[in-house]
Amino acid sequence: MDSRPMLFFAPEIPMSNEEFRLLRDFVYQHCGLHFNEESKYLLEKRLGKRLQHHRLKNFKDYYYLLRYGQQKEQELTEVIDVLTTNETYFFREEFQLKTFTQEILPEIRARKEKAGDRRLRIWSAGCSTGEEPYTIAMLLLDMPAFRDWQIDIIGTDISQKVLQAARKGVYGSASFRATDSSYLQRYFVEAEDKYRVADQVKSLVTISHLNLFDTPRVALLGKMDVVFCRNVIIYFDLPAKKRVVESFYQRLRPEGFLLLGHSESLMNISNAFVLRHYVHDMVYQRPELAAPEGL
Ligand SMILES: C[S@@+](CC[C@H](N)C(=O)[O-])C[C@H]1O[C@@H](n2cnc3c(N)ncnc32)[C@H](O)[C@@H]1O
């Protein structure tokens, strides 16, 4: 007799075009994530798991559960966790980080010192599992010029699952694919085949839950000197990109910087920023004075 365990595969539940539109619009309105017709299979596959979890027979029932169910908030959290792309690693985009430490930060420092202001506020918007805000913290700890400054690095994301990992701060090898070993030695503690980010680094970083489309909550963040929003707006359509970039403009102090991912630009999205050309990279800056109306 064959002693292998029998495997039962639940049949995949097909998503009708109507169900796709209902769910796609619902997700878009909540968080700006945009799924076109070609990515229907993605919603079908990822949300299919939630259907099975609730033992539902079709996606329409799932849609009603998500809209009107008793635990709709909690279910929405699950949806966000399965639909977001959370890829990230320490010291991602080396040239941009060189521009940040060698050109942008000295410029900010000189300007603020003149005004007697020794506070620096940096927002990592869409920080995923935390590698980005902790990278920024390590870079700043390595700069003696900021030693006696008050530094606040705020990492935010919409996915509760990645935020949990960010708060824990324990990372495996995939996170270190671009990390110089000297950082591992100085800013991490070994913990069972993994590495825990040192308290000194953590103390500069606050991790918070935030949906970039929750405008009133975004406004509560206060003013920033630099906003990192890398590899996040690629998942939004044009109106959603415009809305989020406008909120970055509002959060930035005059002459503050917006750092996007290397495949992202503000072309067709916003004319409100100036593109600054530095030695290693180009970055966007909010001008000192607002452009006159109509420009
Ligand atoms: C690919 S990761 C980028 C991580 C990091 N910024 C980097 O470049 O390495 C994109 C992150 O954006 C987050 N995200 C997507 N939509 C969002 C929204 N509406 N509000 C806040 N975060 C969002 C996702 O949860 C995900 O963790």
When pLDDT is cut at 50, 70 and 90, the band that residue 294 belongs to is: very low
Ligand 1 center to 160 CA (angstroms): 11
C-alpha dist (Å) from residue 236 to 39, 107, 185, 260? 14, 32, 38, 14
Let me know if 111 is exposed, middle or buried by CB neighbors in 10 A (0-12, 13-18, 19+).
middle
Ligand 1 pocket test, candidate residues 82, 86, 127, 128, most atoms within 8 A of CB = 128
Ligand 1 centroid, distance to 201 Cα (angstroms): 21
**Is-contact 210 217, C-beta < 8 A?**
yes
Q: Indicate whether 295 pLDDT > 50.
A: no
How many angstroms is it from 28 CA to the middle of ligand 1? 15
Cα–ligand 1 centroid distance for 225 (angstroms): 20
Q: Per residue in 145-195, pLDDT tens? A: 999 999 999 999 999 999 999 999 999 999 999 999 999 999 999 988 999
Ligand 1 atom nearest to 229, measured from its CA: 6
The residue among 13, 102, 94, 95 whose CA lies nearest residue 60 is 13
If you measure from the C-alpha of residue 229 to the centroid of ligand 1, how many angstroms do you get, rounded to a whole number? 8
Nearest CA to ligand 1 atom 26: 86
pLDDT digits (tens, 9 = 90+) for 107-116: 999 999 999 9
Closest residue CA from atom 7 of ligand 1: 88
Give the per-residue pLDDT at 289: 75
pLDDT at site 220: 97
Residue 213 has pLDDT above 80, yes or no: yes
Closest C-alpha to ligand 1, atom 3: 231
Kindly give the distance from the C-alpha atom of residue 154 to the centroid of ligand 1, in angstroms, as a whole number: 14
Statement: residue 74 has pLDDT above 50: yes
Q: How far is the CA of 30 from the centre of ligand 1 (A)?
A: 14
* pLDDT exceeds 60 at position 291: no
Give the Å distances, CA to CA, from 15 to 40, 56, 68, 159. 8, 13, 20, 24
Residue 56 CB neighbour total at 10 angstroms: 16
Burial (CB < 10 A; 0-12, 13-18, 19+), residue 27, is buried
Probe residue for ligand 1, chosen from 84, 124, 217, 218 as the CB with the greatest number of ligand atoms within 8 Å: 84
Using CA atoms, how far residue 131 sits from 149, 165, 169, in Å, is: 22, 10, 8
Supply 9's token pair. 């595969």
Distance 45 CA to ligand 1 centre (A): 21
| pLDDT tens track for 224-235 | 999 999 999 999
Region 131-158: mean pLDDT is 98
Q: Nearest to residue 24, comparing CAs of 38, 4, 14, 10?
A: 38
Specify the pLDDT at position 6.
Answer: 52
C-alpha to C-alpha distance for 250 and 244, rounded to whole angstroms = 10
pLDDT of residue 10: 52
- The model's pTM is 0.94
Find tokens 């918007």 and name the residue.
125
Query: CA 60, CA 67: separation in Å to the nearest integer?
Result: 11
Per-residue pLDDT band at 4 (split at 50, 70, 90): low
Confidence of residue 292 (pLDDT cuts 50, 70, 90): low
Ligand 1 environment, Cβ below 6 A: 31-33, 84-88, 92, 126-128, 132, 157-159, 162, 211-213, 230-232, 235, 261
pLDDT tens digits, residue range 21-67? 999 999 999 999 999 999 999 999 999 999 999 999 999 999 999 99
Residue 1 pLDDT exceeds 80: no
Closest ligand 1 atom to 31 CA: 19
Query: How far apart (Å, rounded) are the C-alpha atoms in residues 8 and 253?
Result: 58
Mutate to test the pocket of ligand 1, among 132, 158, 226 (most ligand atoms within 8 A of CB): 158
Q: Give residue 12's pLDDT.
A: 81
The answer to whether residue 279 scores a pLDDT higher than 60 is yes
Alpha-carbon distance of 162 to 159, in angstroms, equals 6
